[in-house]
Amino acid sequence: MNARYHVGLDIGGTFTDYVLFDREDGQLRLHKRLTTADDPAEGALAGLHELLSNAGVGLGEVGSLLHGTTLVTNAIIERRGRPTALLTTRGFRDVLEMGHEQRYDIYDLFLQFPAPVVPRRWRLEVDERIDRDGAVLRPLDPASVDPMVDALVADGVESVAICFLHAYRNPDHERRVAERIRARHPDLYVSLSSEVVPEIREYARTNTTACNAYVQPVIDGYLERIEEALVAGGFGGRFSLMLSSGGAASPETARRFPVRLLESGPAGGALATAYLGKRAGLDDLLAFDMGGTTAKACLIRDGRPDVAAEMEAGRVHRFKRGSGLPIRAPVVDMIEIGAGGGSIARKDALGLLKVGPDSASADPGPACYGLGGTEATVTDACLVLGYYDPGFFLGGAMHLDLEASWRACADLGATLGLDAIETAWGIHQVVCENMAGAARVHIIEKGHDPREFPVLAFGGAGPAHAARVARILGAREMLVPPVSGVASALGFLVAPVSHEVVRSYPMAFDQFDGPVVASVLDEMEADARAVLASAGVDSADVTIERSVEARLIGQFHEIEVALPEGPITQATAAVLEHLFERAYEGTYHTVLEGYRPMAMSWRVRALGPAPEVPLAAAPSGASAAPKGSRRAYFPESGGFVDAQVYDRARLPVGVLLAGPAIIEERESTTVIAPGDEVRVDSVGNLRVAVAVGHAHAAGLGRDAHEEVRS
């Protein structure tokens, strides 16, 4: 990180974002271009070239390049992985297809399930069996796989997943089969469940391993092209990939465990929030990212995002839990809500106003885009309410059709007995309530009070909705950072190199064996350190974090408890028990008397140093004068009132403005309601002091009506 220039590069579904950080002046240079879905490597490299030549910087001067991509996610969603086979224990080839055998919507007779990434004809069974204790029940003859694999290769299979029952307890059979395959077919990609995710429960482990194998050839080919081009261009710095967990990894690790890259973009957003929060002096925040089709919320505590152990990929119904493929891999713990600027408002069968999850996306887009959309969307509502300037969308690059928005809202309103304004306000309220409601559940599930987390907004639609979301949550502050348009790419720059290792090793706390636990953890730590060393991290700079997933004996689900620092000894048992009880009671009220806790899995996370990105303060503007005013709708003020409109770039540091006000910048518009106050802090954040929320504003109909009418 000592070199002068550092680049963050985020390939999203629509746009690819770049940031170039210049260590000498602390400035960021931004670049944005359309993603080239057909050949992502080509687009990524072309954009990199544009960014650098615009800045007059040579590739050889770049010290590090941090890269996040939706390549893995899209490969699974669009089924663009390579032909993959699964070798599994005799009798179990259909586990991958059966899944949980569970209906995720009890009233839908026709619910759909995602097809497995490996078709049945390429799921083959090996004669071997390991029991619950890791003992060999039926020995393996590695040569028995030769004819199977030969046939698979002849069939065009490029990648093989190996997942045997209880391999998390004893990986020997998986390893020997892998050795055999690699010796005979060195070009085949091979993924082992005991390496990808050595955890109990065969379906999630098999699926995760199969998905890993499925995307491995794709990511390998992609990385090869990027690396070749970087070398050819004279790049001599560190090239890393962003992991879903919020850590960075070497290309080698990314090639071995590509499923760990699934949510790299959102992880960058969470890291950026943590970083920008720290800059604003805040360690606890809610990251709130609202784009065109979805909104994401993620809790930052003590300056870091929480990390969860499992997620779902490729859902058939994007917002229905259980309709996707379970992936066990560390992932920044966030919720995704079907609420964005393009979310469509409709009357449902009960006569209620529903917003999303259907989206008008970019084509035809909201009615105001004038591209053929006629249904009212969240963006149309913002336009009718006067929050957006039809002539200043994307800084004026796109003109919006206000009349079309009015028509769409009026048409929908007619079916609900509301006028266009009531409808627009209703859409705004419902979408904010949906987002706040989902965020609230997320925060509460983690045992925290939603009122205690300032909301940091980014994404195109985030700043226009965040203050109201904060108000509903009861949060007292909302922030809009200065680089909100490219937050994910910025987040990559501050990601520490990291690697996480998990191992199932059950042990009752009252039979705690200090030396055994210490040796298991040491082994895991050595593995994790080796990965960091291979990524060029100095061992003196490595931080180790250890935790245990524990539960009461007999239960099925664990809670994660951080292990105390220092060596593990027999005395650790009592400390653990105490920590477990405290965490358990926090979530589920009471620990049942007489029930004993036990450890299930152990986790070790090795972290390199967090890169320092001493971002210079945004230049202070020259004038606190508004650039104009327009009529905007605020029920707090009784309806449409004149709101001052400001150009964000011109606002000086320290200025204090009272709502109602609207602050515009190219990428987004910040809406300040009456009662709220906004200040530009010393590093250029907009900091909104949110008036104390009250439920009436959140949508109790009677009062909303009265406000509308008065």
Partner 1 sequence: MSAPKFDPVGLEVMWSRMINITEECWTTIWRTAFSTIIGEAQDFGCELLDAQGSSLAHSPRSMPVFNLTLPRAVKALLEVFPADTLREGDVLVTNDPWICAGHLFDVALVTPVFRRGRLVALVGSIAHCSDIGGTRHYQSVREVYEEGLQIPPMKLYEAGVPNRTLFGLIERNVRKSEMVLGDIHAQHSANLVARERLLAFLDAYDLDDLADLAEEVQGRAERAMREAIAAVPDGVYRSSARFDGVGDPLELSVAIHVEGERMRVEWDGPPQVAVGGINCTLNYTAAHTVYALKSILTPDIPSNAGCFRPIEVVAPEGSILNCAYPAAVNLRTHTGWYCAPAIFAALADVLPNAVQAFTGLPMGAGAYGVDADGTVYNDHLFQGGGQGAGARGDGQSALLYPTSAGNTSIEMFETRTPLVVEEKALIPDSGGPGRYRGGLGQRVRVRKLRDDGNPSLLALHPQGMIVATPGLAGGQPGRRASVALEGPDGVRRDTELHGMAELRTPADVCTIEMAGGSGFGDPTERDADAHARDQIEGYVAG
Site for partner 1 in 322-341 (CB under 8 A): 322
Closer Cβ to partner 1, 296 or 442, answer by number: 442
Q: Is 91 left (phi over 0), alpha (psi -120 to 50) or beta?
A: left
Q: How far is the CB of 283 from partner 1 (least distance, A)?
A: 26
Stretch of 232-240, 278-286, 567-575, 586-594 contacting partner 1, by CB under 8 A: 586-594
What is residue 143's DSSP assignment?
G
- Asked whether the bond before 660 is cis by omega within 30 degrees of 0, the reply is yes
Binding to partner 1, residues 76-135 (CB under 8 A): 90-95, 97-98, 100-110, 113, 119-121, 129, 131-132
Question: Considering only residues 38, 187, 397, 557, which one is a binding residue for partner 1 as defined by CB under 8 A?
Answer: 557
Please provide residue 673's backbone torsions phi and psi, each rounded to the nearest 5 degrees: -80, 160
Point out which residues pair with 645 in neighbouring strands: 628, 662
- DSSP string across 64-85: EEEEEESHHHHHHHTT-S--EE
Q: Which of 17, 174, 202, 676 is close enough to bind partner 1 by CB under 8 A?
A: 202
Report the alpha-carbon angle 272-483-543, nearest 5. 20
CB of 291 to partner 1, least distance (A): 22
Residue 536 CA to residue 476 CA, distance in Å, equals 43
Of 142, 147, 163, 141, which Cα lies nearest the Cα of 88? 163
Name the residue nearer to partner 1 (CB basis): 254 or 432. Answer: 432
- Of 127, 150, 224, 445, which lies in the binding site for partner 1, with binding defined by CB under 8 A? 445
Q: Is 137 in the site for partner 1 (CB under 8 A)?
A: yes
Could you tell me the smallest distance in angstroms from the CB atom of residue 131 to partner 1? 6
- Residue number, 364 or 699, with CB nearest to partner 1: 699
Closest to partner 1 by CB, 119 vs 639, is: 119
Main-chain phi, psi angles of 159, to 5 degrees? -145, 145
- DSSP tag of 155: T
CB of 200 to partner 1, least distance (A): 5
Q: For residue 248, give the nearest of 491, 483, 51, 11 by alpha carbon.
A: 491
Q: DSSP labels for 336-379? A: EES-STTEEEEE-TTS-EEEEEEE-TTTT-SGGG-SS--S-BHH
> What residues numbered 23-62 form the site for partner 1, per CB under 8 A?
none
Which of 31, 166, 465, 603 is the binder for partner 1 (CB under 8 A)? 166
In the complex, least distance from residue 441 CB atom to partner 1, rounded to whole angstroms: 5
Residue with smaller CB distance to partner 1, 544 or 559 = 559
Strand partners, 285: 300
Q: Which residues pair with 355 in a beta bridge?
A: 345
Min CB(207)–partner 1 separation in Å: 12
Q: Between 182 and 201, whose beta carbon lies closer to partner 1?
A: 201
Write down the least CB distance from residue 426 to partner 1, Å.
4
**CA 338, 328, 113, 119 torsion-angle sign:** positive
Q: Taking CB under 8 A as the rule, does residue 319 contact partner 1?
A: no
List 136, 231, 625, 700, residue binding partner 1 (CB under 8 A):
700
Of 319 and 640, nearer to partner 1 (C-beta) is 319
Ramachandran area for residue 606 (φ above 0: left; ψ -120 to 50: alpha; else beta): beta
> What's the token pair of residue 411?
């048409």
Measured from the CB of residue 523, what is the shortest distance to partner 1 in angstroms?
22
Q: Which is nearer to partner 1, 106 or 183 (CB)?
A: 106
Residue environment code for 251-274, b if the CB has 16+ CB neighbours within 10 A, otherwise e = bebbbbbbbbbbbbbbbbbbbbbb
**What tokens were used for 216?**
């491995």
**Nearest CB to partner 1, comparing residues 329 and 418:** 418
Q: Smaller CB distance to partner 1: residue 202 or 676?
A: 202
CB of 102 to partner 1, least distance (A): 4
Taking the complex as a whole, the smallest distance from the CB of residue 123 to partner 1 amounts, in Å, to: 9
Nearest to 671 by CA among 679, 683, 663, 681: 663
In angstroms, give the least distance from the CB of 40 to partner 1: 31
Q: How far is the CB of 103 from partner 1 (least distance, A)?
A: 6
Report the residue number, 229 or 316, with the smaller CB distance to partner 1. 316
Q: How far apart are CA 275 and CA 594, in angstroms?
A: 44
Minimum separation from the CB atom of position 178 to partner 1 (A): 20
- The reply to whether 165 sits near partner 1 by the rule CB under 8 A is yes
In the bound state with partner 1, the residue whose beta carbon lies nearer, of 223 and 467, is 467
CA distance 96 to 204: 9
Alpha helix locations (H) across 535-654? Answer: 572-588
Cα–Cα dist 608/501, whole Å: 15
Please report the sign of the dihedral spanned by the C-alpha atoms of residue 21, residue 22, residue 27, residue 29. Answer: negative
Q: Distance (Å, rounded) from C-alpha 181 to C-alpha 143? A: 9
Minimal distance in Å, beta carbon 168 to partner 1?
8
**393 to 432: interface string for partner 1, x by CB under 8 A:** -----------------------x-x-------x--xx--
Work out how close the CB of 474 gets to partner 1 at its nearest, in angstroms, rounded to a whole number.
9
CA dihedral 153, 156, 159, 160 (to 10 degrees): -50
Alpha-carbon gap, residue 438 to 336, rounded angstroms = 8
Question: Whose Cβ is closer to partner 1: residue 119's or residue 390's?
Answer: 119
Q: How far is the CB of 204 from partner 1 (least distance, A)?
A: 9
Residue 552 engages partner 1 in binding (rule: CB under 8 A)? yes
Q: One symbol per residue from 616 to 655: x for binding partner 1 (CB under 8 A), - otherwise; what is it?
A: ----------------------------------------
- Selected binder of partner 1 within 434, 498, 670, 685 (CB under 8 A): 434
- Residue number with CB closer to partner 1 (23 or 446): 446
- Cβ(368)–Cβ(405) under 8 Å? yes
Q: Does 148 bind partner 1 (CB under 8 A)?
A: no
| Site for partner 1, residues 589 to 608, rule: CB under 8 A | 589-590, 592, 594-595
Q: How far apart are the first and last CA of the chain?
A: 59
* Residue 466 CA: distances (Å) to CA of 388, 455, 476, 669: 15, 7, 12, 11
Site for partner 1 in 169-198 (CB under 8 A): none
Q: How many residues bind partner 1 (CB under 8 A)?
A: 74
For the chain, what's the residue count? 710
Nearer to partner 1, 582 or 705 (CB): 705
Q: Which is nearer to partner 1, 10 or 433 (CB)?
A: 433
Per-residue interface string for the shown chain with partner 1, residues 336-375, x marking contact by CB under 8 A: -----------xxxxxxxx---------------------
CA dist., res. 515 & res. 563, Å (int): 15
Q: Which of residues 491-550 bind partner 1 (CB under 8 A)?
A: none
Q: How far is the CB of 81 from partner 1 (least distance, A)?
A: 18
Among residues 322 and 370, whose Cβ is nearest to partner 1? 322
For 267, phi then psi, to 5°, come to: -60, -40
Alpha-carbon distance of 152 to 126, in angstroms, equals 14
